[in-house]
Amino acid sequence: MACSDRLSQLKAFDDTKAGVKGLVDAGVAAVPPIFHHPPDPHAAPVPPIFHHPPDPHAAPASAIPVVDLAAAANDRAGLVAQVRAAAETLGFFQVVNHGVPAELLAETLASVKRFNEEPAEAKRPYYSRDPARRVRYQSNFDLFHAPAASWRDTLFLELPAPEEEIPPACRGAVPEYAREARGLGARLLELLSEALGLHARYLEHDAGCLDGGGVAVGCHYYPPCPEPHLTLGTAKHSDPSFLTVLLQDGVGGLQVLVGGRWVDVPPVPGALVVNIGDLLQLVSNDRFKSVEHRVVATSPAAAARVSAACFFRTTGAAASTRAYGPITTLKPPRYRSVTMAEFLGYYKGKGLDGRSALDRFRLPSSDDPCI
């Protein structure tokens, strides 16, 4: 496709302010070329992707560990060891007995679904690419930068935000879920601090990983796709955060790149998915791994996929003033120091292009680990 044709198609799509859901509602039978992704070079996933909620009584067949946080009461050292093993290898794990009420998780997913399935005219006032807006609805933050668009719409909230800026469908559950998830994030950073051999409050307080007190929430909606083999729900990427806590529904489709093969992260009832972000890999000097992951497009016969991701990173004035570098006891340093604002600016500018943003900040003399 000629560049001018592609740009005009991107603009035409964005100008509808209806997102991918608008295409589906219009009855599109073929995936437009702007959403076409090149063939994937990695091995096929094992086991197959879930297209329906799994049997709640069956243990999921997955390489992604499920960590029971209730174990801290009786075996703190064992729990830290589990978290350390996951953070140093896969970069992903799921947590149960995390303390976030099941009713709140269900209502959060229902709220995101309700908003996205409202008429286009009800959602249009929230559609924006203005980064100054704390609440914005859009399809693909990197629409004009990425090599291909993804089959996904997002309501992005930088919390706290004025209640009147939040869509009515999401005003109750989503901010409450974010508050609960932030508390969980602080607990996880304690475990990860101990996994590095540091005191429990190191990452949150000494390193300042939660400075600013806010949390960013990406409420994602993946409509059924008429030709899922041609596109992706979310392209391969790692997260520009210290830590991400993800609430996913039972549809499935999240995959992690492990040893050159895509591995499913199957839905586990009541669980939350946790993954290490780029900034924590940087601060840990490559001890912890921010691993690439993606979401495959939902098949035409399946339900829409819904998720809510909480990204824990520096917010407010600290985002442009506090610099983060490798922990001084972890030498030699493999990265230069960077502010959250600089890291996010580079990440958003390049889009989900298949390259790790960490490479930009890696020192030339450092090793180049295979992750």
Q: Is the pTM higher than 0.75?
A: yes
- Rounded-to-integer distance, Cα 209 and Cα 283, Å: 9
Answer whether 181's CB lies under 8 Å from 210's CB. no
90's CB contacts (< 8 A; 6+ apart) are 63, 64, 65, 256, 258, 289, 291
Token pair recorded at residue 113: 């679904």
Closest listed residue to residue 161, CA positions, set 175, 181, 177, 179: 175
Residue ranges of domains in the chain: 36-361
Task: Return the pLDDT at 263.
Answer: 95
Token pair recorded at residue 251: 């549809």
318's CB contacts (< 8 A; 6+ apart) are 208, 211, 212, 340
Long-range contacts of 112-115 (CB under 8 A, 24+ apart): 112/155, 112/170, 112/174, 112/219, 112/220, 112/221, 112/306, 112/307, 112/308, 113/221, 113/304, 113/306, 114/169, 115/155, 115/167, 115/169, 115/170, 115/219
Say how many residues make up the chain. 371
Residuewise pLDDT in 10s, the chain (371 residues)? 567 799 999 999 999 999 999 999 999 999 999 999 998 887 666 544 443 444 444 434 568 999 999 987 789 999 999 999 999 999 999 999 999 999 999 999 999 999 999 999 999 999 999 999 999 999 999 999 999 999 999 999 999 999 999 999 999 999 999 999 999 999 999 999 999 999 999 999 999 999 998 999 999 999 999 999 999 999 999 999 999 999 999 999 999 999 999 999 999 999 999 999 999 999 999 999 999 999 999 999 999 999 999 999 999 999 999 999 999 888 899 999 999 999 999 999 998 888 899 999 999 975 554 43
CATH, domain 36-361, list 2.60.120.330, 3.40.50.1000, 2.60.40.1220, 3.40.50.970? 2.60.120.330
213's CB contacts (< 8 A; 6+ apart) are 315, 316
Answer whether 38's CB lies under 8 Å from 235's CB. no
- Rounded-to-integer distance, Cα 126 and Cα 144, Å: 19
